[in-house]
């Protein structure tokens, strides 16, 4: 596979601390996806459980279970809001600023 040298590689930062938090593999996957989707200035993102599930090949209920687990461990902050698309919908506003100590310090400034 030939690498495209005209465009810089696309990646997102994943803090090393994530592997020392005692998380299981699905929790790491959900947290990594949220960090991938987050706005780097506000440390927030707005994917639905369904969107996360499609990306990670998990059911909506399974995603909800692991988001709740991350919330209980204070690794994400959740804010439930309604989102109307075709007359129905639901999405979750998530903040991962508490995930990494360096982000926590930056977000207080």
Task: Note the pLDDT tens digit of each residue in 27-72.
Answer: 999 999 988 888 878 777 888 888 999 999 999 999 999 999 998 9
Q: Which of 84, 77, 83 is nearest to 34 (CA)?
A: 77
Residue 43's pLDDT is 76
Q: Give this prediction's pTM.
A: 0.71
Phi, psi angle pair for 21, to nearest 5°: -95, 0
Looking at per-residue pLDDT, the higher value among 104 and 4 belongs to 4
Identify the three-state secondary structure at position 57: coil
Distance of CA 76 to the CA centre of its chain: 8
* Burial grade of 96 (CB within 10 A; 0-12, 13-18, 19 or more): buried
22-108 fold:
Arc Repressor Mutant, subunit A (1.10.10)
Tokens of 77: 């902050």
């Amino acid at each position: 596979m030939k690498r495209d040298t005209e465009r810089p590689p696309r990646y997102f930062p994943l803090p090393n601390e994530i592997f020392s938090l005692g998380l299981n593999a699905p929790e790491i996957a959900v947290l990594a996806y949220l960090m991938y989707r987050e706005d780097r200035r506000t440390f927030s993102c707005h994917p639905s459980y369904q969107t996360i599930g499609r990306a990670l090949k998990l059911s909506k209920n399974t995603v909800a279970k692991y988001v709740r687990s991350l919330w209980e461990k204070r690794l994400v902050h959740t804010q439930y809001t309604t989102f109307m698309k075709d007359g129905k919908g639901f999405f979750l506003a998530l903040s991962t600023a508490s995930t990494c100590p360096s982000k926590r310090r930056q977000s207080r400034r």
